[in-house]
Amino acid sequence: MAMASLSCLPHSLPVVSHSSPSSSSTKYLIPSNPPYPKRLRFDSRKSKYSKSFALRAALEEVSVLDPAPPSSSGSKGKPNPELVASLKLKLLSAVSGLNRGLAASEDDLRKADTAAKEIEAAGGPVDLSTDLDKLQGRWKLIYSSAFSSRTLGGSRPGPPTGRLLPITLGQVFQRIDIFSKDFDNIVELELGAPWPLPPVEATATLAHKFELIGYARVKIVFEKTTVKTTGNLSQLPLLELPKLPDGLRPPSNPGSGEFDVTYLDADIRITRGDRDELRVFVVS
């Protein structure tokens, strides 16, 4: 059925044809000059959508659409806060008790990965070009899938953990400064000593510089490693380990790496590394 908007109706209106089940062609004549019925009056300042709706109502052609079903996103495409909060608790529950991944079984790895993917999907893509300030600060590592390899190097070869080597891994932190582009990995270690000497506590800082690659990928370039004893030997000076020349550096430790930030908010960060390593951090 042909229909024109009210804004373009001429002074002398044509005949409008309307079909119904009881009549193949019933015609209604609309007077040209008399005022419109009250339900058809409109303000010329209103949008064309109001005019079109008034005409459709006059011809009893209004169709009512069912509202769209609720989605996981909030208003204007933003993540649903209640859903995200629930998924964050699910992820934290999945990685708790795993000693940052050192005690993770294959089943634990799958559960953590599934929980991370759910919150990544709910949060949507990360755009560090606008949210770089959210990286700022000190972050505590609470889970790494690579630690399940039972080495301190994660998916890269590193000192093994266990009873045969007297190295105990403590807390792991990342300290990020978006202004100076500093990206430091800070590792607390406990080194065993011959009896009756107490173990030596130390903090190793692996200093890097970082840069953004695209919207969510971060590249870090290694600069130096410093070691500072703590506890009973905290008075000892800071020790800086020499950097190996590029020709002597093993392929497993190229001095740089890349990872994607797949979820980021004010208190939790999820990254996936260049060796498919899943890491979960909380602000510290």
pLDDT tens-digit map of 240-273:
887 665 554 555 555 688 999 999 999 999 999 8
Q: Which of 220, 225, 221, 223 is nearest to 202 (CA)?
A: 225
Q: What is the pLDDT of residue 254?
A: 57
DSSP state of 204: E
The gap between the terminal CA atoms of the chain, to the nearest Å, is 66
Whole-prediction pTM: 0.67
CATH of 91-154+165-283, one of 2.160.10.10, 2.40.128.280, 3.40.228.10, 3.90.1150.10: 2.40.128.280
Among 154, 131, 276, 130, which Cα is nearest to 206's? 154
Q: What is the pLDDT of residues 71-101, one digit of tens each?
A: 444 445 678 999 999 999 999 999 999 999 9
| 167: nearest Cα among 227, 122, 216 | 227
Q: For residues 145 and 50, what is the distance between their CA atoms, to the nearest angstrom?
A: 57
Place of tokens 């403590």: 170
Please state the rounded mean pLDDT for residues 60-75. 41
Cα 120 to Cα 87: distance, rounded to the nearest angstrom: 9
pLDDT winner (highest mean) among 61-75, 119-133, 138-152, 252-266: 119-133
Are 145 and 109 spatial neighbours (Cβ–Cβ below 8 Å)? yes
C-beta of residue 156 within 8 angstroms of C-beta of residue 275: yes
